[in-house]
Amino acid sequence: MTFFYCAMPSTMRDLQGAFMNRIFISFGLASLTCVATLFAQNPPPVAMRPAQVRRDLIEHATVVVKPGERIEDGAVLVEDGWIRAVGKSGAVIAPAGTNVIDAKGLTLYPGLIDAGLMIDSAAAARAAAEDATHYWNDKVTPQVRVANMATLASGVRKEMRDMGFTVASVNPNSGIFRGESAVVLLANDDRKVEQLTANAGQNISFAHIGDEGPDDSPYPSALMGTMAVIRQGLLDAQWLMQSNAVWKAHPQGNDPPKASAALAALEPAIQGKSVVIFDCNNEQDVLRAAGLVNEFGLKARIIGSGTEFRRLNEVVATRLPIVATFEFPKTPDVSDPRKDESVSLRDLETWALAPRNVKQLLDAGVDVSVGTAKLKNRGDFPARARRAMQSGLSEDELLSCLTTRPAKQLGLSNVVGTIEVGHMANMVLLDGPLFGEKTHVMATMVAGDKVNVYEPVIFGFKGPCTLKSDAIELAGTFDPETKAINFETLAPAVAAADVKVVDVKAADVKAADVKVADVKIADAKAADAKVADTKVADTKVADAKAADVKIADAKAADAKVADAKVADAKPAAAVADAAAKPFEPKKYAAEHVDFDLDRVGFTLPGEALASEGVLRCTAIRIGDRVDGVAQTRDGKSIMFTLTKREVAKPVDAKVADAKAADAKPVDAKIADAKAADAKPVDAKVADAKAADTKPVDAKVADAKASDAKPVDAKVATAATSEKKTEDPLAFIPMVTPLGEYGFEKSPVAQTVLVKNATIWTSGPAGTLKNADLLVVNGKIKAVGANLANIPPDALVIDATNKHVTPGLIDCHSHTGIEGGVNEGTNNDTAECRIGDCIEPDAIGWYRELAGGLTAANQLHGSANPIGGQNSVVKLKWSKSANDFRIEDAIPGIKFALGENVTRPRGRYPNTRMGVEALLRDSFREAREYATKQSDYAALTDEQRAITMAPRRDLQLECLAEILAGKRLIHCHSYRQDEILMLLRLAEEFNFRIGTFQHVLEGYKVADLIAKHGAGASTFSDWWAYKMEVMDAVPFNGAMMHDVGVVVSFNSDSDEMARRLNMEAAKAVKYGDCTAVEALKFVTLNPAKQLRIDKRVGSLEVGKDGDFVIWSGDPLSSFSVADSTWIEGACYYDRANERVLRERDLKLRARLLELAVAEGEKSGNIKTVEPAKVDPAKDVKPAAVPTTLLTRMLDVRREALVDQVRRGRDPDTMGPGDCGCGGSSEGWKILLEEAGK
């Protein structure tokens, strides 16, 4: 047998020097400065000089060289922290003086690597934020460096080593730009915690105030704000880097750039020299990170969330490496049926499928490793890993995710991750398979430094036992390995006078194919046991003891049962009471357990030994018993003895497919009884029923005990053939999005012909009777009667007696905005983009499709005068966020006036006139900014090379686009004076307003709105819900329309967006609009307001094939959408919805069963006895609430209950809230109240 040999340095005078020399050789000249510094810091020896070379030989182990490659009876030679040889035991020759470690029966794995170890960096981040060169936002502290922080705490290192980890990428966890990671050795000695890589990547998080709690810097408070901070920070780093280059080359005429340690720390990431590590909260964050990577040309790695499987294909397409987590969702709390409604199908599916996330990523070809990131308790990692393996992940796959894959991600494949010659001696020695249920980490070796982790306790006394003292006898269990000592009281014995012993002899009983050996049954109770399909008439056995019954060497034939003594208990009242009230033993657990050779010490509650207080117990093992003494609090001693106790072990009975055929009963008189499918529970058999049997004096013959099925795994059944393992979650379909109404296949464009319909074109053609609509390649090909030249592959839909309209468009929506509708912290947040936060999986989209909606204008809330940028989308359910976007829609931004923006205290402005001043000042600054940018752009290339570029400001850039006519304002407004103010401001700065939103007093100034050319997107009949809307009238929309304003009706609500066709009908009721014009309020007019009317809004040739087939007149409250189409693809079909609903109801029921079972298994679900009410006592009515807070809470609850009664989701915002109202915890509040 050959093995590999690698020459090792011998000139270093200690192990640390040799180790660092190899690090230098492996990593190259870039490490020279660091290595030299470390050598210079080595103090001179003050005692005996260490040996020149340290060698260890681990032999007779199963050596796992790397995933998929093992050496049985292998050996590994380690020299000065590096692997010198690997091969078969005996073939690896160790030099003289080598320390030999016999690892027979153990398995040697490569040391595990965690590429995502999070540490608390809050203190370092605060210090960096107070530095003179800090960034303006306290959450941007990229200058924090783990390499400069205190050595990783010894407790953390030990916790990681105890699980088998030897190397970790240590990542800071505070802020948005969190700082630089470092890869370190998890050595036992602080002096050996070396940094393998000091600059291991810049960390960026998608966290905001809502995620991390109070902070000195309140901005950002929403995900869109976080995205803006990340984007602006990267742009600022680019700008500073370019400015420094110009200043260095041409300082003349340029002001020196202001120093910034924060922005300078981002330079390696901007240049692509350092990886950026994105900490993601969900699968959509992975896609956001990918967008930033593409926008700025970054190298990146992802810290996963565990939910990547919900958008697997899109995550795979990013081609980004992922450090996955084993943090799985908690089992949903469905202990009370009333709580079921608060758990969505999406939550249930996520809970069930999350343990398969890593397996699915691997199967899809993702570069994935696994770490402790996101775990609330790092020590849970082994248990979570086992759960992942139970869900399909193989041991080799898991090992690769913890060794070779993270080594590659960290750029250390040539140093760590495998047991190969020339690699660092990072290994872990286990006494079983990786993360096995009973596997222990025996020892770890970090750079050759071996640390014992688990040393088994050898005490010589273990298992069930009996504790006896002069006054007490207890049953117990004794486990030195887990240091678990438990006792419980024994059941009282049955009086001998009540028991008659009858000798029953059964001779020549033949039990075919049954072998029962050495079975001892003691204290067997016949209570509560059930045997299926077996009836025994009028037989009651309580607390019967079958003492000393032994069945030995029973064979398939001629089994003999002899001298069996069965206690014939009298049916007495006392026995009946005992059965009715089962004995509940008192249990006592020992604490402060400590073993030392043959001695043990522990504490017990005094009650356990009929004393008081806490007993301090010491004991010593003597042969097969343990003698001890317990000291009471009053100084007395209680002597006790522990002896081993025998218990029934039905598993050892090995009864399989037992058949008692042709039995010949003697004296027992057994006749024609069949005990089919008997299911014994815990060896307790009571109330036995023998189906189709007439028992006479217990006469049973020809008994057949076929197909016995033991419960609780206490009776093992021998299977005649192995059964194939079935996937327990195979019933869960893989749909997109995960949850309610998900599609197994995403809709695709079809060639569609809709025939014989009443078509409302909302265009010049008006309404067509008995007409056809042809859509080809997502575009409208023809509209009219009796269309010809129909493609042969067209899907033909007969719409006789049905109506077809353009897809409805909502000009004011807050649906599907992840991480907060408002970035309400600052008065101007124009840099924020709703487009960064589209949530394509929001269930509101599907509900709105069912109401005929096909497009929406996603708007920022109305918490600040200048809000964030809008997002115009199509409701392409099951598609990605990018697919939702209407890319050629003119950009917009949300402004707000009135009560909402002046409500916050402590933030300017607090008055309406302050709002006007803020807007004017912001536009002036934007105009100056635009001038500077245009002046720089006009320079020649030579001039730009010697001139510093003006800093790119995303906030001012957005406002400058308004002034340039490239961006529309959608302004939340109610009162006429504020509407006039903004109109005059627009005239002053020469820009046009896109729409006034709500505009409930628009009828008072409708002529001026029309003159300016602004649109009005209002409510149909929503008014009087706060002071500034008291003058609103339901005729508002029609009145503005009559004077030439382009009017639309919007929802401002997930709920109202489901019935915009009915809202349009109100223009007919209140304003005498024609039906054709009323429909345009939700089709063509919002398309015009959003400047997308060239594509959508009407059914005209060349426009997108967005249409709805209605069951009747679209303006009738009795009509429903039969199907909704976007670009020729069907995204909603009423008939298919019934199928999906039935599927999801069945799926939900099965998952609820699993959740209940899991909750009962874990003890999270407990049966609560109802409170007993004494009818003799007067039940006083609840007192009338007296405090204002109590009354407010009662009113809130009643309002939420009323929403549920009306069929509304209490978690959604309502019209007029405009992102500033509503509750995201409506169901939670209701359920908490119900549980009181």
pLDDT digits (tens, 9 = 90+) for 892-923: 999 999 999 998 877 899 999 999 999 999 99
Give Cβ neighbours of residue 927 (< 8 Å, ≥ 6 apart). Answer: 960, 963, 989
Report the distance separating Cα 941 and Cα 255, nearest Å. Answer: 20
- d(Cα 347, Cα 917) in Å, to the nearest integer? 47
Query: For 227-246, what is the mean pLDDT?
Result: 97
What domains are defined for the chain? 15-105 (2.30.40), 113-330+339-452 (3.20.20.140), 463-491+585-644 (2.40.128), 496-584+649-690 (no CATH), 748-807+1098-1167 (2.30.40.10), 808-1096 (3.20.20.140), 1180-1236 (no CATH)
Q: Taking Cα atoms as reference points, which of 1007, 1009, 1000 lies closest to residue 1034?
A: 1000
Confidence bin at 693 (pLDDT 50/70/90): very low
Kind plus residue range of the DSSP H or E element containing 1107 = strand 1107-1110
Q: Is the distance from CB of 720 to CB of 706 less than 8 angstroms?
A: no
- What is the spatial distance between Cα 771 and Cα 799, in angstroms, rounded to a whole number? 9
Q: How far apart are CA 347 and CA 351, in angstroms?
A: 6
Instruction: Specify the higher pLDDT residue, 761 or 495.
Output: 761
pLDDT of residue 51: 60
Q: Which amino acid is at 383?
A: A
Query: Would you state the pLDDT for residue 1198?
Result: 78
User: What is the pLDDT, as a whole number, of residue 471?
Assistant: 87
**762-778 pLDDT, tens per residue?**
999 999 999 999 999 99
Res 745 pLDDT > 50: yes
What's the CA gap between 1045 and 1219, in Å, rounded? 26
The pLDDT of residue 336 is: 82
Degrees, nearest 5: CA angle 742-745-750: 120
Contact indicator for 985, 916 with CB cutoff of 8 Å: yes
Structure confidence at residue 1024 (pLDDT) = 83
Counting beta carbons within 10 angstroms of the beta carbon of residue 665, is it exposed (0 to 12), middle (13 to 18) or buried (19 or more)? middle
Within 778-933, strands assigned E span: 779-784, 795-798, 803-806, 808-813, 853-858, 866-869, 871-874, 892-896
Q: Lowest-pLDDT range, 564-568, 779-783, 1219-1223?
A: 564-568
Q: Mind listing the pLDDT tens digit for each residue in 527-548?
A: 343 333 333 334 333 343 333 3
The answer to whether the CB of 107 falls within 8 A of the CB of 64 is yes
CB contact set of 393 (below 8 Å; sequence gap of 6+): 356, 358, 359, 362
Q: What is the pLDDT of residues 255-297, one digit of tens each?
A: 999 999 999 999 999 999 999 999 999 999 999 999 999 999 9
Query: What does pTM read for this prediction?
Result: 0.79
pLDDT interval class at 1216 (50, 70, 90): low
Cα angle, residue 815 at apex, residues 811 and 821 outer, rounded to 5°: 95
- What are the strands, taking DSSP E only, across 751-847? 752-760, 767-776, 779-784, 795-798, 803-806, 808-813
- Kindly report which listed range (294-308, 492-506, 921-935, 963-977) carries the lowest average pLDDT score: 492-506
Q: Are the C-beta atoms of residues 704 and 676 closer than 8 Å to each other?
A: yes
Q: Which of 394-408, 613-627, 1151-1165 has the highest mean pLDDT?
A: 394-408
pLDDT digits (tens, 9 = 90+) for 41-55: 566 767 776 666 789
1219 pLDDT higher than 70: no
Q: Is pLDDT of 881 > 80?
A: yes
Query: Given this model, what pLDDT does residue 928 score?
Result: 98
Per-residue model confidence as pLDDT tens digits over 42-99: 667 677 766 667 899 999 999 999 999 999 999 999 999 999 999 999 999 999 989 9
β-strand 599-605 against 427-430: which pairing, if any?
unpaired
Query: Which tops the pLDDT comparison, 880 or 13?
Result: 880
- Report the alpha-carbon distance of residue 264 to residue 40 in Å, rounded: 29
Question: Mean pLDDT across the chain, nearest whole number?
Answer: 83
| pLDDT for the residue numbered 653 | 40
SS (H, E, C) 151-187: CCCHHHHHHHHHCCEEEEEEEECCCCEEEECEEEECC
Q: Which amino acid is at 1033?
A: V
Side-chain-side CA neighbours of 883 within 13 Å: the count stands at: 14
Would you tell me how many other CB atoms lie within 10 Å of the CB of residue 119? 18
For residues 167-185, average pLDDT: 96
1051 within 8 A of 813, measured Cβ to Cβ: yes
Q: Is the pLDDT of residue 31 over 50?
A: no
- Give the integer Cα–Cα distance in Å for 162 and 156: 10
Q: Rounded mean pLDDT of 342-356?
A: 95
Q: Which two tokens stand for residue 764?
A: 């010049």
CB atoms within 10 A of CB 514: 20
How many CB atoms neighbour CB 290 within 10 A? 20
Reduced to 3 states (helix: H, G, I; strand: E, B; else coil), residue 950 is coil
Which residue bears the tokens 């398979």? 433
What sign does the dihedral 294-295-301-307 (CA atoms) show?
negative
Of 122-131, 581-590, 684-693, 727-736, the range with the lowest mean pLDDT is 684-693
Taking the C-alpha atoms of residue 158 and residue 451, their distance in angstroms, rounded to an integer, is 10
Instruction: Identify residue 8 by its one-letter amino acid code.
Output: M
User: Which residues, at least 6 apart from 1138, have a Cβ–Cβ distance to it below 8 Å?
Assistant: none
Mean pLDDT for 827-839 is 97
Residues in the chain: 1236
Three-state SS at 1199: helix
What one-character-per-residue DSSP string does 918-942 give? HHHHHHHHHHHHHHHHHHHHTS-HH
d(CA 179, CA 140): 9
Instruction: Check whether 727 has a pLDDT greater than 70.
Output: yes
What gap in Å lies between CA 681 and CA 631, rounded to an integer? 41
Cβ atoms of residues 1041 and 1073 within 8 Å: yes
User: Could you tell me which residue, 454 or 1229, shows the higher pLDDT?
Assistant: 454
CB atoms within 10 A of CB 699: 15
Confirm if 421 and 86 have CB atoms less than 8 A apart. yes
- CA-based radius of gyration for the chain: 38
pLDDT at residue 361 greater than cutoff 50: yes
| Residue bearing tokens 């750029």 | 411
Contact 181, 169 (CB under 8 A): yes
